[in-house]
Amino acid sequence: NVSDIKAVKNYLKANYVKPNSQYTGVAKGKNVLIIHLESFQQFLIDYKYKGKYVTPNLNKIYHSKNSLSFDNFFNQVGQGKTSDAEMMLENSLFGLQSGSAMSTYGTTNTFESAPAILSQKLGYTTAVMHGGTASFWNRNNAYKSFGYDYFFSLNYYKNKADYSIGYGLKDKIFFKESVPFLERLPQPFYLKMITVTNHYPYQLDKPNQTISKTKTGDETVDGYVQTAHYLDQAVGELMKYLKKTGLLKNTMLVFYGDHYGISGNHHAASAELLGQKTFNDFDNVQFQRVPLIINMKGLKGEINHTYGGEIDVLPTLLNLLGVSNKGMIQFGHDLLSKQAPQIVAQRNGDFITPTYTKVDGGYYDTKTGEKLTKLSKKQKRELSTINNKVTTELSLSDRVIEGNLLRFYKPKWFKYVKTSDYSYNKTEA
Ligand code: GP9
Ligand code: MN
């Protein structure tokens, strides 16, 4: 109820992190194209298998002088997987301890999401393109609550037997068939394109297997380099198109890996992929890092080592677009801020900071990977502060979602989204 939202507002106000004014508005008026790299892990960047780079296109974008590439960026999803990533990126609200927030609360909750903010503040046209079925993760309803103008799901695409694999259209076909929709999008647009081919168990038809499988003997791991390579080729084709059409000149690209691909149950295979003798829970946290790459013509790029996560993407993008998120209920902060707290909460209460990593209840030294068994008084104090912050933010975020608290509070300028204003199916009038 109303007093709950007051507690949330007071906490966020007290912990507000000032965005980096050097970057405020540098992307103002640009299109925003979010490219959701399904199950794409950071270790793939610059990774070679049998002397061949697995992801040459993304490597090039990662190292570009116009890219802000975050190499200490972590996924923070829970059981909601892709939908938790979407909930975080669109709202800077965490997914839930169990289940999918987007499925359970996406239809009925009030949100103040990226599409609504950008359309109300800056007149953006907003859209999602995804070669999967519209109802998966309740997207067809949640996107209306988020205020997306358009949602091009599988029923908008030409689909034939060998066009799809796993959860939807193969990425190269998806990107290619998205072109007519992209071309008709009024600018400036905020567009999210969701890929699927690089998804467990990483199957791919022979003609598309253009890099050999790894030989760890773990069949759900050995296909990963093939589907990652395929996704990278698809990204390469999309970049060619964006260059040819001039869209690269006026579009800020945001690539992110939504969560890990190889789960924590494949330590032996993961060790082999990395050429490591041992591989423990701490190694797995490093291994499951995902990339965040913000690429835009004219952007002063760098490899940015700030520790952050998916909860921080929206505040970072809003600052780049010149939109202040002051007074908004967002649990993340600008990753470019000099005051970034660098505490990356995990949905289960674990966390990563530049000094400490808490995983499965154990503490490690983030720099050395050494397990901390005897904690000094100072370490105990620091760790209890961090634990406190993590559990407080997760529980406040849960209260916002489970209590649907945004219906009690909005910034003055924000107009609540009416889901009945949106319809996505071609057949709907
Ligand atoms: C399906 C796809 C599922 O639309 O997004 O991805 P997942 O949540 O399983 O990673
Ligand atoms: Mn996913």
Q: Are 335 and 304 in contact (CB under 8 A)?
A: yes
Q: What is the C-alpha separation between 69 and 56, in angstroms, rounded?
A: 15
Residue with the smallest CA separation from ligand 1 atom 10 is 82
Q: At what angle do helices 139-146 and 81-91 cross, to 10 degrees?
A: 10
Query: Which residue shows structure tokens 């999008």?
Result: 185
Residue with the smallest CA separation from ligand 1 atom 5 is 82
Ligand 1 centroid vs 20 CA: distance in angstroms?
Answer: 33
Residue with the smallest CA separation from ligand 1 atom 1 is 167
Query: For residue range 139-183, what is the model confidence (pLDDT) as tens digits?
Result: 999 999 999 999 999 999 998 989 999 999 999 999 999 999 999
Q: Are 74 and 259 in contact (CB under 8 A)?
A: no
Asked if the model's pLDDT at residue 2 lies above 90, the reply is: no
- Which atom of ligand 1 sits closest to the CA of residue 39? 10
Q: What is the C-alpha separation between 389 and 349, in angstroms, rounded?
A: 10
**CA 347, 350, 356, 359: dihedral to nearest 10 degrees?**
-130
**pLDDT at position 220, please?**
87
DSSP states of 116-157? HHHHHHH--EEEEEESS-TTGGGHHHHHHHHT-SEEE-GGGS
- CA dihedral over 112, 116, 118, 120, signed as positive or negative: negative
Check the annotation: does 259 bind a ligand: yes
Q: Where are the beta strands (DSSP E) in 27-113?
A: 31-37, 48-49, 52-53, 67-70, 73-74
**pLDDT at position 321, please?**
98
**pLDDT at position 222, please?**
97
Check the annotation: does 398 bind a ligand: no
The residue length of the chain stands at 429
Q: Does the C-beta of 172 come closer than 6 Å to ligand 1?
A: no
Query: For residue range 408-426, what is the model confidence (pLDDT) as tens digits?
Result: 999 999 999 999 999 998 7
Mutate which of 89, 129, 196 for ligand 1 pocket (most atoms within 8 A of beta carbon):
196
Q: Does the C-beta of 40 come closer than 6 Å to ligand 1?
A: no
Find the mean pLDDT for residues 42-46: 98
Ligand 1 centroid vs 83 CA: distance in angstroms?
Answer: 7
Burial of residue 219 (number of CB atoms within 10 Å: 0-12, 13-18, 19+): exposed
Query: For residue range 297-319, what is the model confidence (pLDDT) as tens digits?
Result: 999 999 999 999 999 999 999 99
**pLDDT at position 144, please?**
98
Query: For residue range 252-269, what is the model confidence (pLDDT) as tens digits?
Result: 999 999 999 999 999 999
Q: Does the C-beta of 200 come closer than 6 Å to ligand 1?
A: no
Q: What percentage of the chain carries pLDDT values higher than 90? A: 97
Is pTM beyond 0.95? Reply is yes
Mutate which of 81, 83, 133, 231 for ligand 1 pocket (most atoms within 8 A of beta carbon):
81
DSSP class of residue 43? Answer: G
Ligand 2 centroid vs 210 CA: distance in angstroms?
Answer: 23
Which of these, 297, 292, 327, 287, lies nearest to 312 by C-alpha position? 292
Q: What percentage of the chain carries pLDDT values higher than 70? A: 99
Check the annotation: does 90 bind a ligand: no
**Which range has the worst mean pLDDT, 91-95, 361-365, 422-426?**
422-426
Asked if the model's pLDDT at residue 10 lies above 90, the reply is: yes
Asked if the model's pLDDT at residue 354 lies above 60, the reply is: yes
Q: What is the C-alpha separation between 315 and 294, in angstroms, rounded?
A: 13
Asked if the model's pLDDT at residue 137 lies above 70, the reply is: yes
Q: What is the C-alpha separation between 310 and 331, in angstroms, rounded?
A: 10
Query: For residue range 190-209, what is the model confidence (pLDDT) as tens digits?
Result: 999 999 999 999 999 999 99
Asked if the model's pLDDT at residue 33 lies above 90, the reply is: yes
**pLDDT at position 338, please?**
95
- Active-site residue (options: 82, 197, 216, 366): 82
Check the annotation: does 199 bind a ligand: yes
Q: What is the C-alpha separation between 118 and 323, in angstroms, rounded?
A: 8
Q: Does the C-beta of 132 come closer than 6 Å to ligand 1?
A: yes
**pLDDT at position 428, please?**
47
Q: Are 329 and 16 in contact (CB under 8 A)?
A: no
Asked if the model's pLDDT at residue 360 lies above 90, the reply is: no
Q: Does the C-beta of 196 come closer than 6 Å to ligand 1?
A: yes
Q: Count the Cβ atoms, other than its own, within 10 Å of residue 388.
A: 10
DSSP states of 223-250? THHHHHHHHHHHHHHHHHHHHHTTGGGG
Name the average pLDDT for the chain: 96
Ligand 2 centroid vs 20 CA: distance in angstroms?
Answer: 30
Q: Helices H, strands E: what count in the chain?
A: 13, 18
Active-site annotation holds for 125 = no
Ligand 1 centroid vs 111 CA: distance in angstroms?
Answer: 22
Q: Are 287 and 275 in contact (CB under 8 A)?
A: no
**pLDDT at position 427, please?**
58
